[in-house]
Amino acid sequence: MAKQATVGLGLRREMLDEFCQHVPDEINFFEVAPENWMTLGGKFGKQFRQLTEQHEFFCHGLSLSIGSPHALDTEFVKQIKHFLDSHQINIYSEHLSYCSGSGHMYDLMPIPFTEEAVTYVAKRINQVEDILERPFILENVSFYAAPGAQMSEQQFVNAVLDEADCKLLLDVNNIYVNSINHQYDAAEFLSSMPTKRIEYMHIAGHYEESAQLMVDTHGADVIDPVWQLLQQSYQQHGVFPTLLERDFNIPKTAELLQEINQIHRYQQAAKVIKRSA
């Protein structure tokens, strides 16, 4: 069942002064990486608390490393739970990838697309859910190599979602980036994602290294083919809360609102089409 038509923005520390004074009505929720905010005190900590008390927040993690060959860092997961509880945040998502082994790699590495990996990751997801006492929401990620793959990305994502019985953060830009880099049909991949598991969505810009290589940067405006995929998603799966990701080269709020309002327009158009169907 489709969720409420809302649009969010990734909150950066440099936005705190402005948004503690006024948050535009067009921004319905914020998303943060808990790792970047858990230890904040002083002025930033107070400002963050002010915003979480007044607005809806989602959390999107960076360093859980759900596919790591090393044991799950349960102490870290408990810290995440404390953060979510403290700010009354119910939505927690992470990447279908890993970023640690014998040390932290500070990058999101692809998990081998194998049946063994499906079972391994699903067990770890269920372990995280038990600690967080919240649903685990898994994001389809951009990747640049597929070592040891025994199935397609599409098959792997669906298999993990089914085995773990968890929710999906559907990232539209990642589908587009991967479709160029790995030469598959983005529309077909989008259609294959399970509607019943979608919790919310991401959309972002990326960097075109060449005609055959796209790099997922979240540092540019959303391009037309990605907008088209978003519209397609709303038409096929229904309207879900959608977050605009912008992690650097961040323009002024008035410029960000242009893309936020574009999402609002697509959501409303999809609802009108559904009502008239």
Partners of 129 in the β-ladder: none
Closest alpha carbon to 177 in 141, 220, 228, 221: 141
pLDDT of res. 106: 44
- Range 249-277 burial, b when 16+ CB lie within 10 A, else e: eeeebeebbebbebbbebbeebeeeeeee
Give the whole-angstrom CA distance, residue 170 versus residue 81. 23
Closest alpha carbon to 137 in 48, 222, 66: 66
Predicted structure pTM score: 0.92
In terms of Cβ atoms closer than 10 Å to its own Cβ (0-12, 13-18, 19+), residue 66 is buried
Please report the domains of the chain, with CATH numbers, ordered by start residue.
Answer: 7-276 (3.20.20.150)
State the sign of the Cα–Cα–Cα–Cα dihedral 76, 28, 19, 244.
Answer: positive
pLDDT of res. 63: 84
pLDDT of res. 100: 45
Give the pLDDT means over successive 10-residue stretches in the chain (277 positions). 81 96 98 94 96 98 87 94 97 84 50 92 97 97 77 95 98 93 92 97 78 68 95 97 90 96 97 75
Between vectors from CA 163 to CA 157 and to CA 168, what angle results, nearest 5°?
Answer: 45
Closest alpha carbon to 98 in 71, 77, 69: 69
Give the whole-angstrom CA distance, residue 47 versus residue 187. 41
pLDDT of res. 11: 97
Strand ranges inside 39-112, DSSP E: 56-60, 91-95, 98-100, 104-109
Element (H, E) at 136: none
pLDDT of res. 104: 42
Do residues 219 and 205 lie in contact, with contact meaning Cβ atoms separated by under 8 Å? yes
